[in-house]
Amino acid sequence: MTGPLAFAHIGDLHLTDGEAENARDFASVVAQLNEVDGLDFVFLPGDNADHGRPEQYALVRAGLDRLRLPVHVITGDHDREGGSLDAFHAGLGVPRLPYAVDVRGVRCLFLDMCGPGSGGPDFRLGPDQVAWLAAELDAAHGRDCALFMHSYPADLRGEGEAARVADLIHRGPVRLVEMGHTHYNELANDGRTIYAAARSTGQIEEGPVGYAVASLDRGVVSWRFKELARPWPFVLITNPADRRLAFDAGHAIGERFTVRALVLGPAERVEVRLDDGPWQPMAREDGVRCHAAAVTWPAGARTITVRATGRGAEDIDAIEPATDSDGLPISRGIGSDADALGAWPGRGLLGTQLGPNRNGRQW
């Protein structure tokens, strides 16, 4: 099936025991994701076991064993709480970090911010991993990359690592950095790369439980949080870029372009409209991942909305496309949350920064 890279991001699990609410939520998320097609993999961003204990990893592993999709799991500071990552590797049996895989033409890079450190939030990559990252980005030769790590590069404490890694990302072909740790939903756009953090599953301080769905479609990043309680279908416009997520002159639309949308779950009807204009049907050809429709952009228009209807339920996604190639953002501090977009309810962003990095509880 052709189309963009698309994956689900389940926020930090912090699993403790099988009777806890987060364990039940994790099981429900897995069951829900098993109901749909259209995703390439599931990402777990670290802090999988709250105290890094073998019995907690057994709960994580049991959930992953029920998942139909491939899964990529990285480390968080809680995974090292026992003094090493031995229980993490023994309990999950996942590949050793760092590693890279190619998915739909995107080079996906997975990092370990916790193994080289001394425990706690002593985030470090170490010289070997920094060198590996530099070599991978150089070898990409401009091909789009997605980077998966536990927190922002600015949180790295190794000597010179924060600045070095932020610079590698900013100058290189990394279009998307997916992270955990914050416990809140956040998107940041530094003018070259989108940073995305998803709400914790196990230590929630804002909003309901759920998971993020992200895509990378010909250099355009799209991201939206799905609340667990919301029924299918689920819509994510994958192209064109919303103006808040645009970071390339080519993301600005012209008079005529194609709207593409990923629809997860049953949908008898998928439609698009511009502003308050008429609904126009979208179609998905056999073997193609997204629904699509060619549109003509009226002068002065602002919004693209896609609506999917199925089994008595409806979902919409709306964007404001970039129209000016000169109006792209300029970073206020690469590799950090200095470029955070703030509240954006349509994406599940509350702008609270309630979590261990800001104003929340000291977990």
pLDDT over threshold 90, residue 338 = yes
pLDDT over threshold 80, residue 101 = yes
Q: What is the pLDDT of residue 18?
A: 95
pLDDT over threshold 70, residue 100 = yes
pLDDT over threshold 90, residue 214 = yes
In the predicted model, what is the mean pLDDT of the chain? 96
Q: How confident is the model at residue 335 (pLDDT cuts 50, 70, 90)?
A: very high
Q: State how far the Cα of 98 lies from the Cα of 301, in Å rounded to an integer.
A: 45
Residue by residue, DSSP assigns 66-121 as H-SS-EEE---GGGGTTSSSHHHHHHH-PPPSSEEEEETTEEEEE--SSTTS-STT
Task: Indicate the residue type of 229.
Answer: A
Domains by residue range for the chain, with CATH: 5-230 (3.60.21.10), 239-319 (2.60.40.10)
Residues above pLDDT 70, as percent of the chain: 100
Q: What is the pLDDT of residue 1?
A: 58
pLDDT in tens, 23-73: 999 999 999 999 999 999 999 999 999 999 999 999 999 999 999 999 999
pLDDT in tens, 253-279: 999 999 999 999 999 999 999 999 999
Peptide bond into 127 cis (omega under 30): no
pLDDT over threshold 80, residue 168 = yes
pLDDT in tens, 310-328: 989 999 999 999 998 888 8
Run of H or E including 272: strand 269-274
pLDDT in tens, 224-249: 999 999 999 999 999 999 999 999 99
0.85 exceeded by pTM = yes
Q: State how far the Cα of 240 lies from the Cα of 253, in Å rounded to an integer.
A: 7
